[in-house]
Chain A
Amino acid sequence: MNAPVSLSCPCGSGLRSARCCSLDASSLPPPESTRHLVPLVERAVQAHRQGANDTAERLCLDVLEMAPDRPGALLVLYQIRKDQGKHAAAEALIRRVVLFDPNNFLATNELALLLMAKGALAEAEIHARNAVRIAPENPQAHNLMGMIMTEAQRPQIGEFHYRRVLELAGNRDPILLANLAWCLKNQGRMEEGRALYRESVAAAPGIRQTLLGWARLEEADRKFDAAAEILDQMDKQWPDDPGVLLSRAVLLGRMKGYDEALAVLDRIAALTSDGRLGPTELSEKGRLLDQMGRYDDAFEAFLEGKRLARELSGNQYQDFAADTLIQRLRGFFTAGRLRTLPRARVRSDVAQPILVLGFPRSGTTLVEQTLSAHSRIVAGDELPLIHDITSIMPRMLNSPLVYPEALAELWMGDQRDGLDNLRDYYLQKVGQMGILEPGAAWFTDKMPLNEMQLGLIALLFPEAPLIHVIRHPLDVMVSAISNHFTHGFFCSSALETAALHYVRVMDLVQHYRSEMALRYLPIRYEDMIEDQEATVRSMLDFIGEDFEARCLQFHENQRYARTASYAQVTEKLYDRSRFRYRHYRRHLEPVIPILQPVIERLGYTVD
């Protein structure tokens, strides 16, 4: 019997709420008392296998009404809801399987994949690691880690796991080779990636995702003709494939074929049932329209893209979480407390970090490309390590508290060198990532919004140069609305929340700077455009390195930056992105009052 509609769980599982998301685990009957339901579960599994989904569903609901923790029934119902596209229900059900049966490899694998698809990479990583713990010699477990770590911007760790898959599987599976190729592409190792794509395609010529990845590699490596050739081949095999078409549109955009690119996007829209584009296509369309000077149309596309992305992913700005963390950081990092805390000692035996700070899309990639063109500086890209340290700190410091309060352990006699351990964790991970090159004295870490952790960074690396890239806040907003990024508690899911988060972060930076001495240099993006050499000189001066002229030719820096702005930083400095907001002045009206105090504080005006 199905539960009455009024009591159904809002997740859409079909179970009663009390048997689903509001389940009280303490009220569950002991497993032995529901053993008689096992035959029903087996029938459900069999029905599902035979395609009798209605029967399977009814059986599962019946079983779970009596025994909500039966993993078999949960798994079948999960599969049914997943196939129906009921994502919230599927997620709730698979989470419950993992909760009640933590050693279930299949469920752990599914949950990790689901979380990865959602963009919840940190949580996906937890389950991927569990998968390896459950089955350390299972190639799929390592494949999962490979995928998640590559997406989580730790491709070096991902590469390790992909190579473990190669060892364990004993063969060179073409899909795995393609995954590894993508991982290498994300490390800027284009030639190696290209070779693997070639090998993969030779072994299995008709894999769409492989070819798409290869085309993206060629496009990123500025081999536009090669990319076009792959897409031409794909067109023949998969005419009107939306993924191929989108890649084509991106490629045409980079080759400045804006009209053609728009036409390709129109073709994608025409192919959908409702004639509309998805969030990624809409953002691309907006960027093309922006390049063409059709700003009203561009903004409309950006906004619609954001709206759709919110609708599909369910990701909205985590207002409360952001506010709470910022308040706690402000409360903890005060001049009085900082006086009582030790600092990590500076290591002279390894390269030291240069923190390139800034809101996403404020010009951090440009600064990193510029600096890493220097002979003694290598690019570390967006290192997730400071964030990792905030997570592992309670364990490392043996604290019952969480970050930042866990730093109170530094007052204990046995944790006085706790910061040295955390510093070494960071440096060790950097070493593992293969970032460091012989002769490098510095590496950059340009994880956006690391400025939220300025206090912690200054404790860990008291002498590290902190280069904060400042840009007109309205320009930052234009970039935030025209790109999808998940940093900052999903603040960029809407224009207003991006503005709110920006102000919160800048206020927090102000707090840190008032309360503590920092090796901090603000660099204006606009100065990089207007007076590049002076700005680069002042950055290198500040770091303590001699000026090298090749830093001015950063666009010739062959390193591939994996962030959204990669296409821009491979071009010479151009003026078009400076004060770009003026084209969108009317559209940005709602956020000007929110940003005005920071605009003034930074010395900008709204023209």
Chain B
Amino acid sequence: MEEIPPPAAAIGAMVPVPLTELFTIAAEYERAGGLEQADRLLERMLEASPRQADTLHLAGIVSFRLGRHEKSLRQMQEAIEYGVDTALYLRNICEVYRSLGRLDEALATARRAVELSPSDPLCLHNIAIIHYERLEIEESIACAERALMMNPGLAGAHFELAEALLLKGDWARGWDEYEWRFQISGAAPLMPPTDKPQWDGTPFSDATLLLIADQGFGDVIQFGRYIPWAAERCPDIVVACPSEMEPVLRQLHPGLRMFQNWQLCPPYRAYAALSGLPRLHGTRVDNVPVQGPYLRADPARVAVWRDRLDSLSPRSYRRVGIVWAGRPTHNNDRRRSTTLASFAPIAALPRTALVSLQKGPSTDQAGRYFGRAPLINVGAEIQDYDDTMALLACLDVVVTVDTSVGHLAAAMGVPAWIMLATAPDWRWLLTRDDSPWYPSVRLFRQSQARQWGDVMLRVADALRERFAGSAGPLA
């Protein structure tokens, strides 16, 4: 990581720097993303003045952004203890409580913030988020709407409202609110600035429509199904996508043009994000397009992977693909990810092999696994999504937390059992254990926040039931 130069005065300068000035420097570091530098500077300031509320608060923000949530909480609590009872501090500690799963404290604090600053829409927005996470969807909607009454341009509240509406199945309103996602402060821009319009769904055949494979890989797989629909209206389509997604998208429309570098973007008349197509399509819970597998693995690769799996575990074993963690940088990762160790009830099933599809830093948990079912850790051998699809085609079922692998398996028609946090992503709706998006999906929802134990037990039971009668009973 590039070293960020001190914004104003050098930290080690010979001339003593007043604490207020140091605070400004630390705040500038924090804004510029120099979190470690800010953290070091704030630590030194707190050594000199341990009860300085602003410093503690800023240190809490920095710790939070560094992923040190427990430390952040301690700092924020001290900031509140030693400082004045400001809505800002309360609002921020709220987020820390929420991240730590302490939702009662988060809600109580958020309410105090509203009492202190009743005209601050951000405080209401905060409460809306907490209600969503508590699965109090109507309350979440009400708070977001109140925030928007105070500030109709508050993009975050629109987005929160969208998520709540979509989750409860009110997709007509939800898609419109969902359009605010690119206006949220700090959100990555969809594309470089352009003078071309966003596509409104009107067909044209004399120019190119640019589609942008936005958001995560799971979103691309899920919304990629709309490409044929878009192509019926605008036959000349080009898609801006990460290279990893090419093997997936190329299956969705013959001859689909794709590019990775914006400098290679051809002229186009209008653009649309893939995640915006459901709105243009008018998708409702009962009319989701493409009810069946729309991705398939390359048979030659499937043969290679089948041989590979046969060499690593008995053919007679049921093969259960597993993913226990998502991308750690995802803002919801703490809630959606679990650990390999939590798969213990599934690992106890006899004549079953677990096939790890895990990628990323959590892969190292494979080395610490000592369950009864053999674990085939082929994650490191998966080169691309073509490999992943071929491997998925060799599995009996995939059990995963909410990651792109679940989408991929589901899009292929492979039984995909997706384990969800209490407050899931909107696309999985409420309470139901199936999905209008994918017929082969089965949902397993947490009954208690952040507790995966009973989910795993239910999955293990379901696997036992599914495999009963095939290749011998599961004890």
Contacts and interface: CB of A to CB of B under 8 A. Distances in A.
Contact of B364 (A338, A462, A514, A544): A514
Interface residues of B, number: 28
A519 B313 contact: yes
Contact of A516 (B308, B316, B377): B377
A595 to B, nearest CB: 15
A542 B367 contact: no
A513 B367 contact: yes
B377 A514 contact: yes
A514 B350 contact: no
A17 B376 CA distance: 57
Interface in B377-418: 377-378, 380-381
Contacts of B367: 509-514
B438 to A, nearest CB: 28
B313 A542 contact: yes
Nearest to B315: A544
A517 B380 contact: yes
Interface residues of A, number: 32
B380 A515 contact: yes
Interface string A507-534: 0011111111111111010000000001
A35 interface: no
A514 B366 contact: yes
Nearest to B312: A519
B313 A510 contact: no
B350 A517 contact: no
Interface in B332-368: 350-351, 363-368
A535 to B, nearest CB: 9
B370 A522 contact: yes
A65 interface: no
A263 interface: no
A463 interface: yes
A518 B371 CA distance: 15
A517 B315 CA distance: 16
A470 B370 contact: yes
Contact of B380 (A335, A542, A543): A335
Contacts of A515: 380
Given A338-B380, A542-B374, A519 B311 contact: yes
Contacts of A586: none
B381 A339 contact: yes
B323 to A, nearest CB: 15
B319 to A, nearest CB: 13
A23 interface: no
B181 interface: no
B314 A544 contact: yes
B242 to A, nearest CB: 21
Contacts of A335: 380
B374 A520 contact: yes
Contacts of B316: 541, 544
Given A335-B380, A513-B377, A544-B314, A538 B372 contact: yes
Nearest to A508: B367
B317 interface: yes
A538 B350 contact: yes
Given A338-B380, A510-B368, 7 more contacts: A462-B311, A463-B311, A470-B370, A510-B367, A541-B351, A542-B374, A544-B315
Interface of A: 335, 338-339, 346, 462-463, 470, 509-522, 524, 534, 537-538, 541-544, 601-603
14 contacts: A462-B311, A470-B370, A510-B364, A514-B366, A515-B380, A516-B377, A517-B377, A517-B381, A519-B313, A524-B370, A537-B350, A538-B372, A542-B313, A542-B374
3 smallest CB-CB distances across A and B, nearest first, come from A510-B367, A335-B380, A514-B367
